[in-house]
Homo-oligomer: A and B are copies of this chain.
Amino acid sequence: MSNERLIYLPLGGAGEIGMNCYVYGYGKPDQERLIVVDLGVTFPDMDGSPGVDLILPDVSWLAERKDRIEAIFITHAHEDHLGAVGHLFETLGRPVVYARAFTANLGRHKMDERGHDPKAIKTVGKFPETVTAGPFRVSFLPISHSIPESAGLMIETPAGRVVHSGDFKLDRNPVVGEAYDPELWGEAVKGGVKALMCDSTNVFSPLAGRSESTLGPAIEDLVMNAKGAVVATTFASNVARLKTLAEAGERAGRSICLMGRAMRRMVEAAVETGVLTNFPTVISIDHVSEVPRGNLMLIVTGSQGERRAASAQLANGKYNGVELKEGDLFLFSSKTIPGNERGVIRIMNQLSEKGVDVVDDAGGKYHVSGHANRPDLEEMHALVKPQILIPMHGEHRHLREHARIGAENGLQSIVAVNGMMISLEGNRPQVAGYVETGRTYLDGSVHVGAMDGVIRDRIRMALNGLVMVNVILDENNEPLGEPWCEIRGLAETGRSRAPLVDVLEEDLDQWLRRAPNKVRSDDAKLEDGLKRVVRTVTLEEIGKKVEVTIVISRLS
């Protein structure tokens, strides 16, 4: 027994916000039985991952040990926790996936979309119901968050108990779903907890978080006083907010319409699983045009400025025949995630051009966060009383600050980033090793490693433009015709005011005709020389260091 160990290994989510994937293992070193907690995605951007569809954690370490995976547990249905299940299910050897009813409902749709059996996802009830997975006994501890049925996990192991907080806030009145229940949690953690892995997102927010239920009056007030149509956007998965918004509309005598596929899917899942009851009656998009503007309230997707979402389309023109006008009101009941500012601001300005009044969360009146702020984190520490605190779900700066707070409060704490394997045997966490980790890109229908150079090549073409050169040589290495150039993403004329391709072709031709046979007969040398000519010409003509592709055809 003495050489068995309990390990914790984040493969995603520790050192970033997004793409959560945490591994726990118990057993003899390198023979540990494993469970995976959460399997999420993160979203690409033009800066670092242009054209990519989704970013997934690199789970090669797990894939090589798939026979040791007992199960996957999903804490809640946000994309950064659930989004990769369908994509990586096969890679991980089709393990059983456990989740609560609402999460399982959405997860099964994802499995189905990727051609997997939805039944691989099993629904589990809340604590004290327990799933046994190899040496682990796992139960779901309900906790409030910005999506229904979020849960922390109580993970019992032969080496002690671990609480994995999941994403959480301490909301005693969350509008939809279970309230934070300190008694239930107190009951669960009785007998002591070895380690708490804890959400760090809002560690820099100094004041205690506010309840979802505090927003109702301000939103009602706003909607009540609006003259034209009211449009509100929020995260599609924030079912409680959808209810608050819809109820505000209903009280103001407005017909409610949900716009955006993701939002309707969320409400559907919440109703099907009994999480959501008494949601106001909604009308279908087809009937929107029959409702006078002053009696209309649209609740739409796209709070982050996503180009294809309902909000962007409404801002840009029409969406399903609906067009916004002077005097309408548009409410962002959301915060802008860092990096999305440009997209959100673009929408705000397009709405302004239409004469629509835009209200955002500047005053904190129309949005509350779903994550625990610093005082709430400390309350959680005090409630769970772990020996060890390992911050997760945060960028490096969040993890470091959270670890600092833990240490101040007498907890053994460590900053464990993706790929760092931590052993939890002793009285303090120990680094047991490092595992190669990173990101893979779903690009179209294929997976591409973040370090494969594929995306780097795309970024280079975007920054530098491309010159393509074709050279045809006969069996004596004599050029047949002039070199042929094509350019993409470059100015057509430069300093000499002649077309850039003409200047290139002339200089390449001259160089080629002067090149000695030992160069012309050697593809590598020839390519090298032609590239140098292209780079010299483009630097001179247009002042840019361009990308170059040379194709040499030899006829024989």
- Residues of A with Cβ closer than 8 Å to B? 15, 45-47, 50-51, 204, 338-339, 341-342, 345, 348-349, 351-353, 358, 362, 395-397, 400, 443-446, 448, 452, 454-455, 457-459, 461-466, 468, 470, 472, 480-481, 484, 486, 488-495, 542-544, 547, 549, 551, 553, 555
Residues of B within 8 A of A484 (CB): 551, 553
Q: How far, in whole Å, are A452 and B489 apart by their CA atoms in the complex? A: 10
The 8 Å CB contact of A468, one of B358, B543, B551, is: B551
Residues of B within 8 A of A342 (CB): 45, 47, 338-339
Residues of B within 8 A of A494 (CB): 445-446
Which residue of chain B has the shortest Cβ distance to A404 in the bound complex?
A: B357
Indicate if the CB atoms of B472 and A555 lie closer than 8 Å.
yes
Q: How far, in whole Å, are A15 and B345 apart by their CA atoms in the complex? A: 12
Residues of B within 8 A of A542 (CB): 443-446
Q: What 5 new A-B contacts, CB under 8 Å, besides A445-B544, A461-B462?
A: A341-B341, A348-B395, A454-B492, A480-B555, A555-B555
The 8 Å CB contact of A396, one of B46, B352, B454, B488, is: B352
Residues of B within 8 A of A468 (CB): 468, 549, 551
Residues of B within 8 A of A15 (CB): 349
Indicate if the CB atoms of A470 and B362 lie closer than 8 Å.
no
Q: How far, in whole Å, are A15 and B492 apart by their CA atoms in the complex? A: 30
Residues of B within 8 A of A472 (CB): 472, 553, 555
Indicate if the CB atoms of A458 and B489 lie closer than 8 Å.
yes
Q: How far, in whole Å, are A345 and B396 apart by their CA atoms in the complex? A: 10
Which residue of chain B has the shortest Cβ distance to A545 in the bound complex?
A: B444
Residues of B within 8 A of A466 (CB): 461, 466, 488
The 8 Å CB contact of A358, one of B339, B397, B549, is: B397
Indicate if the CB atoms of A443 and B544 lie closer than 8 Å.
yes
Indicate if the CB atoms of A461 and B458 lie closer than 8 Å.
yes
Indicate if the CB atoms of B448 and A458 lie closer than 8 Å.
no
| Contact A397-B551, Cβ < 8 Å, known A51-B465, A489-B458 | no
Residues of B within 8 A of A204 (CB): 362
